[in-house]
Amino acid sequence: MSKGHYIQTGEGDVVLMLHSSMSSKSQWKGLMTQLSSTHHVIAIDLLGYGNAPFPSQGEGYSLKSELAQIDQVLGELDILEETTVHVIGHSFGGATALRWAYEHPLKVKSLHLFEPVAFHLLEAPCEGLSQILGMIDGLYEDFKNGNKVRLCQAFIDYWSGQGAFDSFPPNVQQAMIAQVDKVILDFEALLKEPLSLNDYASFSFPISLIMGERSPISSQTISHKLKDTLRHLTFYQLDCGHMGPITHSDLVNEIWCNEVVKNSI
């Protein structure tokens, strides 16, 4: 049973929420409160985060591993195969949402993304790909040398800005450091994901995509690729960074609430 790996509230159309790396289902508490008066909202801990177990597959881990747990939770909640759901995803959760939508296109009522880090969509020559590969090489080197503190600092500062890691209190830093093993697996899964832009181009349901103006070039490039490829897509650009759903939740949540309500009519 997956009890404890998710939280749910409200009644109505189902809204599934997938968080970013180094986060958990608690990321969505504010948005859940806003939507729960009209929707059945479900926030899931992705593998290795929150209360969800660390992936057991080792080298066999992929985004499909996340899909299996998502489907297990929906099954336990009696979300029937013919029930359509709204899916919201941020960063790693956004990339997972794309993969889940590809596997279950008839179950998606609408899809709402904030900078999905689908690195497999980047092709050389590309500044965004060079930037992210350089960052990942540094993370792998730190991981191999057992320097998890520097690895975590580099990861947090890349997505949240220079000095972000140092700004957190020691207990939060330690909680982040404890998650770096899963972060490495996340990157590996994202880079080896086999789907292409053409695969996602087949989506026929409504999609919204939000991009931060101050985000890294890697995630911005992915957002532009999706914007130029996906049909039925509404694009938003906000004055924030990659962690906008947390740092600027009022702006982001307003868009997501409006989009979900609009597509529930």
**Are 66 and 171 in a shared domain?**
no
Amino acid at 172: V
91, part of any domain = yes
Calpha distance 25→51 (Å, rounded): 9
Mean pLDDT of the region 243-264 = 97
Count of CB atoms situated within 10 Å of the CB of 76: 13
Which of 187, 212, 237 is the last residue in one of the domains?
A: 187
Count of CB atoms situated within 10 Å of the CB of 192: 12
- Assign 159 a pLDDT band (cuts: 50, 70, 90): very high
Give the sign of the dihedral formed by CA 258, CA 63, CA 156, CA 28: positive
**Are 114 and 146 in a shared domain?**
no
Mean pLDDT of the region 28-46 = 97
Which of 162, 187, 212 is the last residue in one of the domains?
A: 187
Which of 154, 170, 187 is the last residue in one of the domains?
A: 187
**Are 183 and 213 in a shared domain?**
no
- Assign 57 a pLDDT band (cuts: 50, 70, 90): low
Q: What is the pTM of this model?
A: 0.96
212, part of any domain = yes
Structural domain for 146, as ranges: 127-187
- Would the pLDDT of 51 be above 80? yes
pLDDT given at position 56: 79
- Would the pLDDT of 243 be above 70? yes
**Are 152 and 228 in a shared domain?**
no
Q: Token digits for 5? A: 């790996």
Yes or no: say if 175 and 169 are a contact pair by the CB < 8 Å rule: no
Laid out side by side, the sheet with 6-9 consists of 6-9, 39-44, 13-18, 85-90, 108-114, 207-212, 233-238
162, part of any domain = yes
Mean pLDDT of the region 4-33 = 96
pLDDT given at position 80: 78
Kindly report the CA angle at 223 between 36 and 259, in degrees rounded to 5?
25
